[in-house]
Amino acid sequence: MTGPAPLAADRPDGSAGDATSGDIRKEMLAAAQSLDRSAPSPAAAMTSDLSIDEELTLHSIGWEPIELVYGVSLHSIPMGVWNWGQGEITHASSAFARSFAAATDRIHHECARSGGHGVVGVHVERNVDRHHIGIALTGTAVRPVGAKKLPSADSVFVSDLSGRDFTLLQGSGWMPLGLAAGASFVYAPRRSMGTAMKQTSQNVELTNFTEAMYAARESAMERMQRSALALQGTGVVEVKVTEGPMEFAHHAIGFSAYGTVIRLVAGQHRNLAPRMVLPLDDPVRGVEATALRGA
Partner 1 sequence: MTDTPQDLPEGASKRLAELEHGLFTSDLSVNEFLLIKEVGFHPLGFVMGSSIYHTGIQTRKWGQSQELTKLTEAMYNARELAMTRMEEEAAELGADGVVGVRLDVNYYEWGKDAAEFIAVGTAVKAENGVSYRNKLGKPFTSDLSGQDFWTLMQTGHIPQGLVMGTCVYHIAHRGIGQTLGSAGQNVELPNFTQALYEARELAMTRMQDEANQLDASGIVGVRLEEKSHQWGSHTIEFLSLGTAVVKTSGEVTLPAPTTIISLDN
Partner 2 sequence: MDDVPGDLPEAAARRFSEGAFTSGLTVPDFAACLQMGLEPAGYVQGFCVMKWGSWQFYPGAGPYGGYGPNVAGTHGGYSESWQCPHGFVSAEHRVWGQNYEQPWVEDAWANGFTSAYERLIEEASALGAHGIVGLVDTSAPLGDLGVLEFRVQGTAVKVKDGPPPADGRPWTTYLAGQRLAKLIEAGYMPVSIAATVASVRVWASCITAYLTEGTNPGWTSQAVGAEIEQTARAQMAVRRIARERVRAQLGGDSLHGASMGTRERELGEGDADLECILRGNRVRRFKEFDPMPAPRPTVRLS
Instruction: Write out the residues near partner 1 by the rule CB under 8 A.
Output: 1-8, 11, 13-14, 16-21, 23-24, 56-57, 164, 167-168, 272, 274-275, 277, 280-282, 284-295
- 3-state secondary structure (DSSP) of residue 267: coil
Instruction: Quote the least distance from Cβ 204 to partner 2, whole Å.
Output: 38
Q: If we measure between CA atoms, which residue out of 220, 222, 286 comes closest to residue 256?
A: 220
- Let me know: does 227 contact 100? Beta carbons within 8 Å: no
- The option from partner 1, partner 2, none interacting with 12 (CB < 5 to 8 A, set by class) reads none
Contact predicate 133/94, CB 8 Å: no
* Residue placing its CB nearer to partner 1 in the complex, 2 or 200: 2
Q: Are strands 174-187 and 235-245 parallel, antiparallel or unpaired?
A: unpaired
Q: Which of 15, 51, 83, 86 binds partner 2 (CB under 8 A)?
A: 51
Member of 5, 44, 193, 291 binding partner 2 (CB under 8 A): 44
Phi-psi region of 247 (alpha: psi -120 to 50; beta: other; left: phi over 0): alpha
> CA 186 to CA 244: how far, in whole Å?
11
The option from partner 2, partner 1, none interacting with 291 (CB < 5 to 8 A, set by class) reads partner 1
Question: For residues 131 and 198, which CB has a smaller minimum distance to partner 2 in the complex?
Answer: 131
Q: Which of residues 63-122 bind partner 2 (CB under 8 A)?
A: 64, 68, 70-80, 91, 94-95, 98-99, 102, 106
Q: Strand pairing partners for 183?
A: 256
Q: Closest Cα to residue 73, out of 49, 48, 94?
A: 94
Task: Give whichever of 32 and 277 is closer to partner 1, judged by the CB atom.
Answer: 277
Q: Which stretch binds partner 2 (CB under 8 A): 31-39, 178-186, 191-199, 216-224?
A: 31-39
